[in-house]
Structure 1
Amino acid sequence: MSLSRMSSCLLLLLLVSLVSSMFAAAEPAGCKIRITDRGLDMLKLETQKFVEEELSNITMPEMKGREGRFQYTITDVKITELNLTHSDLRFVPEVGLLFDVQNSSITLSFHRQILYWFFYDTGNINASAEGVNINTVLNLIRDDQGRLKINNITCDAKINKMRAKFSGTLGRVYDFLASFLTTGMRFILNQKICPALDHAALLHVNSMLETIPVKTDVDQFIGIDYSLIDDPVVTSRSLDMNFRGMFFDLSHHGDTLVNSAVEPVISSYDRMVYLALSEFFFDSGMFSYYRAGIFQMNIINEKMSKDLEMLLRTTYFGTIMMMNPALVDAPFSLQLDVNAPPKTHIKTSGATVDVTAVVKVMVLPPGQAAVQLSSMTMQTKFNAKVSMKGKRLAVHADLRRFKIFSNQSALESLALIPLQAPLKTMLQMSVVPLINNWTKRGVQIPLADGMDFIEEVVEYHNGFIVIGANLHFSKGLREMISGNSTV
């Protein structure tokens, strides 16, 4: 083989290896959000109101000049009314959003000062701009922090015609001047519309998007990472966003779980918004709690029922007598320690969580060190019901299966059979409420303040959950932006 051919083969192998490594390194999403064209229908009205408010704040310069025998000064030009009823908001595939206004109108007022020969005239004039067409495209990307961001805006604005009606004794004389003035106003207004929308999108809307949590604390133990892992995917029907969707221990940021779960898939468009969560989303949360060391419990004194204490005392009476008869009247305790991160399993039938813990039976002689009587393994399976309220995701757990066996011998496992039922009851009364107290507060999903989920429907698939919902605006877009600017 020639040297050049060998070099070509090596280069080809290198390129194949590089491409393969790039695809292999692609990070799966733990959380996905889809906003459909139905969601845009609701957002369109809010966008229209916002654009009208932005355009109404346009300031027009004073106009002075001479035209023939006329000397004029035009001041206090104000937009008094906008009628953008012929507007549309839709997705632009591979780009972002299009806000389109066709054949709409704008009403203005201004103050005139006109000198004609030796006549001096002042007063207010109303003008109307008709055939207003505005075409605005917002390019959506993922920024360096993993946030959704408007990268740039392309805008084209055009006013087909403008009319002004002068009143007063010289109204007819001013007709030809009106045409001259409105031509100038139309030119200036055309130049003002797009910069106003540029400012609104790139400054105001982006400032609101910056308030959507990327990395935020859930409680004093763990946080969550909602950073986008790639640019949003825009089709003619939807905006799809892939988030890392990973919890982390606040005291060990770098100690995270590797995402090897099935990536969630959203295939529906019927509702305004969809949220999809993989098993990794939930597993990373439990892994982080496990790393934070909160899956431990000591059941003692008033936390332990009298019936359970009596059963423990009966079960381990022989052990105590052989070990030290003086311990017969000493109080008991159960030490629960989850010895591995819990694991989530999501199937079409629902979601379950497997938890394995070591349970130590201890006797506590007053003034002395605790004495271990037994060590057993507890295997439990919980049903996990996922729900959404507003924009907070919550989970409610119910004990489904319970099993204990001895870590010492099969014979002791047989002796533990009478403890199965009371320990299960103890778990239901003491541990499960504690778990639900953590999870009922929920975790916020990455939506802007003022937008909430309503009419939610939860669907379970193999490896992931999809929540379809409609959107409710508790605030207008202007209020959302104004409120966020003070944060």
Structure 2
Amino acid sequence: ILLLGALRKSESTISSSSSSSSSNILCSAFTVKFETQKFVEEELSNITMPEMKGKEGRFQYTITDVKITELNLTHADLQFIPDVGLLFDVQNSSISLSFNRQILYWFFYDTGNINASAEDVNINTALNLIRDDEGRLKINNISCDAKINKMKAKFSGTVKRAFTDRSVFLSVSQICPALNHAALVHVNSMLETIPVRSEVDQFIGIDYSLIDDPVVTSRSLDMHFRGMFFALSHQNHTLVNYAVDPVIREYDRMVYLALSEFFFDSGMFAYYTAGIFQMDIVNEKMPKDLEMLLRTTYFGAIMMLNPALVDAPLSLQLAVNSPPKTSIKTSGATVVMTAIVKVMVLPPGQPPVQLSSMTMETKFNAKVSMKGKRLSVHADLRRFKIFSNQSALESLALIPLQAPLKTMLQISVVPLINNWTKRGVRIPLADGMDFIEEVVEYHNGFIVIGANLHFSKGLREMIKNTPHTIVPPARPWTHTYNAKF
């Protein structure tokens, strides 16, 4: 998630584009590389080593208080390696460190401080990403190759050459273990704090778990999330996915989020399962002109039932009778909803009496937007139709009710739906990272949202308060050191 598709762009776009938006994209990509480089520098700068002792023949040494005084990762790059993972590559860099020495060689005993430096430092670190048992992104393995071609050490004494070979080599050899610990412990601990199954509101939740391991290509990191809503009261009652799989072909922005029709249908299904799509419009909720029109329309039916009910309150009971269905085309997204509307008379102290039952068919335009970490939907009523469930003659009599019922929906029901959706759904992104410059594109069967990443916190700041648990690697990490003096 730290690098969530952060380099998803073509080289031709990087080299040839000169628009302001492309400049922002390049700047954002540079920010990801810079934050990653800064994180690595901070991890290496905080390397700590226990006291080291050794003996080879008549040569004995002790090394204490190792400190890195300067680290310069001048040429760092972040790349996607197909079938491997993410590669952080450092070339032609330098590192300076200091430590205390105690040396005994034959009869010569030497102590003091050493300032050492290594030039032409090359660090090649690859991270393999997987889906864990809970469907969360996890660093499974890290391979590290560190090479140092030039070393220098400044101190006075009689055994400079022999000790330099050992002490500087042992100190720099901590680079790979430090990066290994940073990835498998610190970063994995932060990834564990990102929820893959969480509540949206008091009615529904969402499942963001990965359905398979991430796929790394030469241009992108692709992750397939479940993206399914569920009713909190019936968490195992879910919708079957028959939607087309989204396809992402764009590379102009850093991150692309593709949402199929199933994503929205499962949300509607979850609300429907939770019993939210029901409403009783009565008393102060009933518009006065609509109430008067209902009384006029059903005056004869009321008189035939009981003339004493003429002045009794009326109500409209709306209940969606099937899960709403989403349709996404290049022209936009629509939601079709069908409900049963019952006209009821409410005599005081007596059971309600049904005057009529009708079917209401509605179609809404749905506008999808994303801001920061939240995805939201705004609905507008596009089409409205009612017809009687009892007779064709009554359907003709309902024609005068079309306009006032549509107005009532626009005033009462649509704002209620938008009130549920305006808070939005949080996208599973770590605290300290946000989406910016969002663009929404509609395709046949799915929506693609492109965005760049903004860091409000450094990577180290994001994880510094995360409780760390040692996570053993699935396979042993490897390291290679090649030092020339």
Q: TM-score, normalised by structure 2?
A: 0.87
Shift of 1:165: 2.0
Q: Secondary structure at the match of 1:466?
A: strand
> 2:435 is matched with which residue?
453
Correspondence list, 1:88-487, <5 A: 88-111=77-100, 124-166=113-155, 171=156, 174=157, 177-485=159-467
Give the counterpart letter for 2:259 in structure 1.
L
Alpha-carbon distance change, 482 to 73 in structure 1, aligned in 2, over 3 angstroms: closer
Q: Secondary structure at the match of 2:174?
A: helix
Deviates more, 1:312-321 or 1:476-485: 476-485
Shift of 1:78: 0.6
> 1:81 is matched with which residue?
70
Shift of 1:260: 0.5
Shift of 1:467: 0.3
Alpha-carbon distance change, 327 to 118 in structure 1, aligned in 2, over 3 angstroms: same
1:117-154 deviation per Cα after TM superposition (whole angstroms, max 9, x unaligned): 99998764422121211111111111222111111111
Give the counterpart letter for 1:179 in structure 2.
R
1:65-84 deviation per Cα after TM superposition (whole angstroms, max 9, x unaligned): 89999997653221122111
State how far apart, in whole Å, the 1-side matches of 2:55 and 2:339 are. Answer: 91
* RMSD across aligned positions (CA): 2.5
Give the counterpart letter for 1:142 in structure 2.
R
State how far apart, in whole Å, the 1-side matches of 2:178 and 2:216 are. Answer: 25
State how far apart, in whole Å, the 1-side matches of 2:207 and 2:115 are. Answer: 54
Kept after mapping to 1: 8 A contact 2:385/2:402: yes
Q: Secondary structure at the match of 2:380?
A: strand
Alpha-carbon distance change, 36 to 130 in structure 1, aligned in 2, over 3 angstroms: closer
Alpha-carbon distance change, 217 to 281 in structure 1, aligned in 2, over 3 angstroms: same
Give the counterpart letter for 1:274 in structure 2.
Y
Deviates more, 1:299-308 or 1:455-464: 299-308
Shift of 1:35: 4.5
Shift of 1:432: 0.6
Give the counterpart letter for 2:7 in structure 1.
T
Shift of 1:183: 1.6
Shift of 1:100: 1.1
> 1:36 is matched with which residue?
7
Deviates more, 1:263-272 or 1:191-200: 191-200
Alpha-carbon distance change, 73 to 203 in structure 1, aligned in 2, over 3 angstroms: closer
1:403-440 deviation per Cα after TM superposition (whole angstroms, max 9, x unaligned): 11111111111111111111111111111111001001
Q: Secondary structure at the match of 2:190?
A: helix
Alpha-carbon distance change, 133 to 321 in structure 1, aligned in 2, over 3 angstroms: same
Shift of 1:200: 1.0
Shift of 1:276: 0.2
Give the structure with higher Rg (CA): 1
State how far apart, in whole Å, the 2-side matches of 1:196 and 1:119 are. Answer: 34
Kept after mapping to 2: 8 A contact 1:40/1:89: no
Alpha-carbon distance change, 77 to 269 in structure 1, aligned in 2, over 3 angstroms: same
Kept after mapping to 2: 8 A contact 1:41/1:89: no
Give the counterpart letter for 1:298 in structure 2.
D
Higher relative contact order (CA 8 A, sep 6+): 2
Kept after mapping to 1: 8 A contact 2:293/2:401: yes
Q: Secondary structure at the match of 1:223?
A: strand
Q: Secondary structure at the match of 1:259?
A: coil
Kept after mapping to 2: 8 A contact 1:216/1:223: yes
Give the counterpart letter for 2:136 in structure 1.
R
Alpha-carbon distance change, 407 to 37 in structure 1, aligned in 2, over 3 angstroms: closer
